Structure 1
Amino acid sequence: MTSQITPEVRREIAAKVGVHEQYLYQCLTGRRDMNPAEARRIETATAGRVTRQMLCQKTWAGIWPELVKPVRKAKAKATA
């Protein structure tokens, strides 16, 4: 996902949402987690192109557990 965000696009997004481009880079690469409210604001401002999960890679599942998709277990085949 984050590989689709080129440096040029990242600079455009940073300017649009009012954050420093390097801070956005650090969050997108998992070096830092963004403030949850800020991540939500950027997700809305970019119409989902940049998601909360992309900006809060280490903590998003604990902050927004409703976004965690349940893992489906494969049914075991009955052997006779």
Structure 2
Amino acid sequence: MSNSENIAREALREAKKAVGTVKLAQGLGIRSQAVSGWYMVPPRRVLDVERLSGVPRWRLRPDLYPSPEAAA
């Protein structure tokens, strides 16, 4: 497992903890079972999960969104 996958999985755990799996799923308009089955946030859900949980997109999917430090 790559470092970016580890970061993404930890960030997903933080997002679930911050909001709760059920409320996160409700905010996304999907079932909580779908959220529970994620290993990483699907690309099309990243921005919504960021908005709902406060966990930044670059942590949720570092393979898709570079960190601010990397861009500098």
Which has the higher Rg, Structure 1 or Structure 2? 1
Structure with greater helix share of residues: 2
Higher relative contact order (CA 8 A, sep 6+): 2
